[in-house]
Each structure stands twice: as structure tokens, then as C-alpha cells.
Amino acid sequence: MSLVVQKYGGTSVGTVDRIKHIAERIAAVAHDNHHIVVVVSAMNDETDRLMTLAHEISAQPDERELDLLLSSGERTTIALVAMMLKEMGVKARSFTGRQVGIFTNNAHTKARIERVAADRITTALEQNLVPIVAGFQGINEQSDVTTLGRGGSDLTAIALAASLHADRCEIYTDVDGVYTADPRIVPMARRLDRISYEEMLEMASLGAKVLQDRAVVFAANHQVRIVVKSSFSEAPGTEVIQEHREMERNAVSGVTYDRNQAKVTLIGVPDTPGIAARIFEPVAQADIIVDMIIQNVGQDAMTDISFTVPKDDVPKAIEVMNCVSQEIHAKRVEVVQDIAKVSLVGVGMRAHSGVAAKMFVIMANEGINIMMISTSEIKISCVIEEKHVEAAVKLLHREFELDKASR
Amino acid sequence: MSLVVQKYGGTSVGTVDRIKHIAERIAAVAHDNHHIVVVVSAMNDETDRLMTLAHEISAQPDERELDLLLSSGERTTIALVAMMLKEMGVKARSFTGRQVGIFTNNAHTKARIERVAADRITTALEQNLVPIVAGFQGINEQSDVTTLGRGGSDLTAIALAASLHADRCEIYTDVDGVYTADPRIVPMARRLDRISYEEMLEMASLGAKVLQDRAVVFAANHQVRIVVKSSFSEAPGTEVIQEHREMERNAVSGVTYDRNQAKVTLIGVPDTPGIAARIFEPVAQADIIVDMIIQNVGQDAMTDISFTVPKDDVPKAIEVMNCVSQEIHAKRVEVVQDIAKVSLVGVGMRAHSGVAAKMFVIMANEGINIMMISTSEIKISCVIEEKHVEAAVKLLHREFELDKASR
């Protein structure tokens, strides 16, 4: 008997009618004699509604309380989905993060899963129940509610799929797979039939908001086979699997962008050994994820250090940097918010050279200034002015012939 | 150092502004160096919103899922109140029913508290934190969420006050105390300065919706001193305490009414010994609370048995009665919904006789037909047609001179 974990995002459970629709999908799988575990997010807009309440109270709400607040969104959904299934004659039962046994560390609002117990889920499956699991939430060792960060329900689904040795994990969303570029910007963008974990990881972390990046890492580490599909169509979706040779035929698989970045610069930093550690250790301790780092060539034993952080973390980053700046006697802190990152991704880059050079030439010919660059084996990213982002994505998609390739 | 438990109802936490208002009250107590524990309900309308969602899915939603669904309302409030207090510089921390350790039996939607652990609350108080506790909710031994029934947050507050040996339990609501009658119907109604547990219990169970009846029983059993106050004024409120002699000066303390009753009649019941048990045992097993019971004088070894139940329980009662009716070979089941109960309450009835007779005369003179009667030592209740309820309350308030008495 096969076991599938299905995860439905906020738009898929946004109204009672949509809940009915997905309940019918779930019922069909259950009636086919497959074991199925369902993970759901909060109803569309519910997280925003709760977040607005919190921000009416405080500009920086207490994170423990914020986690408790936000976790009620998924609790509402699991109750409603389980009710709907029971109303349709399917034996279903809701489980909160705590009831599943999603144990996390104590990093409120972006906790890491440390252990998945899932005893109650296994028992429920043995009783032929369909477990409906609240995504996004866990508990720490004090038994306080934690949340797994934006898109954390993906991680819940994949961690459960790994823990239960599921045959696959289907991620239902409002798009029907992973595209060569954002179809809202590039109408010629193509859906990819399959993609490697690494490519998916780069796409996710670069802002193609199909899957949470930590979820992809977890899936790769535990070899969980993911299928990204639309809950509104029967299209086959995109499989996320291990890399294989055939994937390397094309140099580039997709072009992505990320507007959710800001650039923080420490100006007038004494250029002494160990200075980077003194800057970035407190940043890490504040749980701020730094993406790119650039250190300018120093003059007169002074240098400037720039790095990018998610826009949400800017207030925290400024706080930390003001401290650091005093401590190391830097001149001042500067923040630039209107930047964006454009990236090319593809496992084919391992086999094809010259991708980066071609990218820089294309951008230069259009007069788009590149502020920062970072590269990995399968990715090249450039930070540019935000106003150029759409033009850059269109241009790169066309010049790398992503509309023509076949995979 | 004194310890007070404060409970705020749905209207008191209905908006962010109101949350700010009560947070200021709480902060004032905390700054006065009193220990304080706060219990809150769901925001006004939130429970209705969730209930509407559930009823869009099912006419009789699964009760385990309903409990989980509804419990998210209080979780939202505790997070917001704790955030607000922290924003104001008060050290506060939220606790769910599970985190407090409110252990209940398994009767979903109307669970009974079996044990209150409260270790985390005691620890929090020792750390000079203000615990903000979710009312209305507990967990059963399977660690599933249960709820305590309508008004269950009162019970949470009083059970916690008992468990912590608090000096008093202040119940904040949208009225500033207990009145001799509903002021919306009787403008001359007076606020009572104090009232006995028994009177309060009768008032609560008779539909004066100031305090949940089970909460009052719990308070009486554990001698918890209650003060009912308005969160919108500084008025002293009504104290609910043990009965004492002075209270007996007046025969009647108040007149109350309850529109939330329906009459179920089993017609053509074989008049044999033990028949009542065969009818009411399944009713009790279905967790339906029966209020009054009347058995008509039998003819030809046949009789009719009528009883009243809360209107919410009518569908369940009909289901049970249809079963019972077949089993005992009764003729049919009849339900009348447009009834109401009008009651006089007063510990003074122990000392004053003739209250019942006077009540019946007053009603008869106005042509109000009495369908059922029940009495206790300190209460007389009459079931009448719903259309007469306001006239009856006004009349009784005037004739028993409740506007004049002083207590």
C-alpha cells in the first residue's frame, strides 16, 4: 500500500468551497486504498489578518507570542478540513504540530525541526484514518509553540514524508509547477517536467516562491521525492528529484529574481584581521540570514563592507549594526532598500562554461549596472537596481533561449 | 502580597483599542505590586465567525474538530494581550489551556475540569511575570483539545483562582454587576452590591448571562470570592459571596428570564414503573441538560411526559427521543420552541412564605398562562409563552418592589 503526503497551501484552502474541492481530491486518494497524510497551511489572508493585528499592537511583536498567534491559522484549517472529510464520510482526524510531535529548537518565527515523532500519525494510518496535519508549527522543549518561518508548511510536509518513508510528497499550490521564469513577467516561460534538488534550492532561495528553501534541503538530505502541482488543475506538475546526466543538456534551467533583499553597508571599517567575524557573528546570533557579502578594497587601512539581508530583517540588522559600528569604530551604517537580485540557475553550468560572461555582457549592453555578484557551481546572481528587474528577467530568458529548450 | 485573578470577556478584548484599555488596567495592578493572573475569552464575534465556518461545512460538525477550531479564538487573544503588555513594558507571558494544565474529561464542547496543574503559572508568578491564560479550553487524557461550553472562560478563571488560592476572582464583562432584572427590559432595575453563590447560581442557570452556572458551583465549592465588574467603568460591581443573614431581609433578590429553552413532549407513553429512567438515561448519555420535567396524570395506563432542554440541544434531543419513542412504544414526539422561563430568585424565600402564590396571582391577573412550574428553596420558575416574557418580567419586578429594596 503506497503512502503519499499531500500539502495544500493557503489559496487551496482559502474558502469553504475550496476546502470542499481539496477534500474531494483527498477522498479520491483514500478511496483508492492509498494511505494519505494531508498537511495544510492557514487559509489565505488569515496569516495577514493576524499579522495586521500584531502590528497594530507593536512594530516588533514579541516573537514567542507572534508564533502562538500565527499558529492558530493552521489549527483553524485542520479542523475545517477534517470536518469536511467526515461530512463526506471519510474517516479523518486533525493533528496540531504538538500532537504530531514536531519538535523544534527555540528560534521563534524561524524554528528548525530537530525531531519528528509522528507516533500518532502512524497509529492513525493503521486505523485507516486520514490525518490532517497543521503545517508551519512545532513545539520547543518548553512545550511552547514555534513556527518554521515563511513557507514552513512545505517543511512540515517533507519532514513528515521523510519520517513516514512516504512514496512521495505532493506540494499543491496555485501554480502548476516550476517555470523557466515567472510567467507574469515572461509570458513565454515554460513549465519544467523535472528539476534537481539543487536547482530547486537555488530557485527557492532566489525568490521563486514555489517551495521553502529549507524544505528543499531537507528533501535532498532525506531523498524525499517531491511533486509540485496545482490544486486547481490536473496538470502533471514538476518533479523535484536527484540530479542526473540528462539535465545537463541545457546550460541554464531558469531565470529567477528576488525583490525581498536590502543592502546594508558599514562605511569606514578599520581594515584589521578578524574584523569580518566581529561584524557577522552578532548578525548570525540575531538569526539574520546574510546572502551576499562584499568587502571593498581598502584605502588608508579603512574599508567598506556591504551585505544583503531579507527586507523583513532590516530593522533588526540596523539595530545590530549600530552596536557593532560603535564597537569597532566604523564611521556609519547605510541601508539601500530598492535593490533586486536576478539569477540564472542550471545544473548544466557544471558542463557549460562562459555562462557568467555572457550574462554580464547582456546586462551591460542594456545599460543595467551590476552592484554585487555571487556565484555557485549551478547559479550566477547579480544585484541590480530594483527598477531594472523585469527588463533583466525578460532579456536573460530570451538570450539564453529558455523558451526553446526541452526538459 | 495579594493575588487576584481577572477574567475579561469577549467584548472587553473585542478590538486592539479595547485590548490596550484592559492592558492598562492590568499594568496598574501589576505596578501596585500585586500578583495578577489574567484569563481572556476570544475576541467578540471571533467565536461566531469560526462557528459560521463550521456550519457552512456541516449542520452538526464533528465535536472534536469543533473544539480545536473554537479554541484558536482564545489563543489569538492571549497572544495579543501578552504582546500589548510587553509593548507597555510589563513582563507578561501567554499560556494555552494545555500549558496551564487544565485537564478535563472527554465530553467535547462541554468538558468538565478534572484537574488544574498550574505549575507553569506558579513559576511565572515567582518570576514576576503576568500570566495571560486562554479561557474556555483544556485537554483530555489523549492530549486533544476540549472546550468547557458557553461561558467556559469564567470556569477557567475560577478554577485557577481556587487552584492558586487567589484572594479574589474579578470577572470583567460588559455590564457592571448583577441587576434585579435585565435593565434592557426593566429600566428601573437596580445593581445588587452583593449576592450569594446560590442566588448567582440560580440567576446564571436561569439565563442571566453574567456568569456560567458551572463556574458558580465551582466557586461555591471552593469558596472563591467573585466580583463581577464592568471593564468599561470604575463601578464597584457585585460581589458573589457566601450567604449571610442580612441577605434575607428581602424575599426576592431578582427576576430573570431565559428564552433559550424548548419543550419536548413524549405523547402516549405507557405508564409503567421505570419508564422515566428509560427516557432520561439516554438523554443524559447524550449530554443533554434537562431542566424541568412534567408528567401528566395518566389515563388508560398512558401518560405524556414533557421536559425542557436548551434550544441548541433540540436536534440531538429529537434524535434521542425518536429512538426512545420506538423502544417504549410511545405515540409520538412533539417539540415547542416558542417558550420562555421567568423566575424569581432570593435567599429571602427561606424566611418569607407566600412568594410562589403571589407570583401565580400576578401572572393570572394579566392573563399569562403558566405551562410548567419548578421551585427550589430560593427560586420559583414558570414556563410561559415566549411572547409574554417581557411583560411578565416588568410586572414581577414592580409587584415585588425590586426597584426599592436595598442590598
**C-alpha distances out from residue A148 to A165, A288, A316, B36, Å:** 21, 14, 19, 32
Q: Which of A18, A19, A65 to mutate to test the interface with B (most CBs of B within 10 A)?
A: A65
**Nine-digit cell string for A406:** 526541452
Residue B324 DSSP one-character state: H
CATH of domain B3-174: 3.40.1160.10
Edge to edge, the sheet with strand A102-104 lists: A113-116, A102-104, A137-139, A145-147
Query: Which member of B68, B80, B99 has the closest CB to residue A79?
Result: B68
* Mean of all residue pLDDT scores within chain A: 91
Average pLDDT over residues B48-60: 95
CA distance B1 to B253: 35
* Mean of all residue pLDDT scores within chain B: 91
Query: Which member of B72, B83, B87 has the closest CB to residue A72?
Result: B72
Residue B298: predicted pLDDT: 66
Q: Residue B207 in contact with residue B260, Cβ under 8 Å?
A: yes
**pLDDT tier, B208 (very low <50, low <70, confident <90, very high otherwise):** low
Residue A351: predicted pLDDT: 80
| Interval A303-335: pLDDT, tens | 888 999 999 999 999 999 999 999 999 999 999
Q: Which of A22, A38, A80, A88 to mutate to test the interface with B (most CBs of B within 10 A)?
A: A80
Residue of B nearest to A98 (CA): B143
Decide if A58 and B83 are in contact by the 8 Å CB cutoff.
yes
Q: Residue A89 in contact with residue A124, Cβ under 8 Å?
A: no
Check CB contact of A21 with chain B, cutoff 8 Å: no
How many A×B Cβ pairs under 8 Å?
A: 110
What amino acid occupies position A95?
F
Check CB contact of A392 with chain B, cutoff 8 Å: no
| Interval A6-57: pLDDT, tens | 999 999 999 999 999 999 999 999 888 889 999 999 999 899 999 999 999 9
| Interval A68-102: pLDDT, tens | 999 999 999 999 999 999 999 999 999 999 999 99
**pLDDT tier, A245 (very low <50, low <70, confident <90, very high otherwise):** confident
Residue A284 has pLDDT above 70, yes or no: yes
Check CB contact of A373 with chain B, cutoff 8 Å: no
For residue B87, the chain A residues in CB contact (below 8 A) are 57-58, 61
Distance from the Cα of B396 to chain A's closest Cα (Å) equals 46
Q: Residue A55 in contact with residue A312, Cβ under 8 Å?
A: no
For residue B94, the chain A residues in CB contact (below 8 A) are 64-65, 68
The residues spanned by each domain of chain A are: 3-174
Check CB contact of B159 with chain A, cutoff 8 Å: no
Backbone φ and ψ for B7, nearest 5 degrees, come out as -120, 130
Check CB contact of B77 with chain A, cutoff 8 Å: no
pTM over 0.95: no
Backbone φ and ψ for A156, nearest 5 degrees, come out as -55, -45
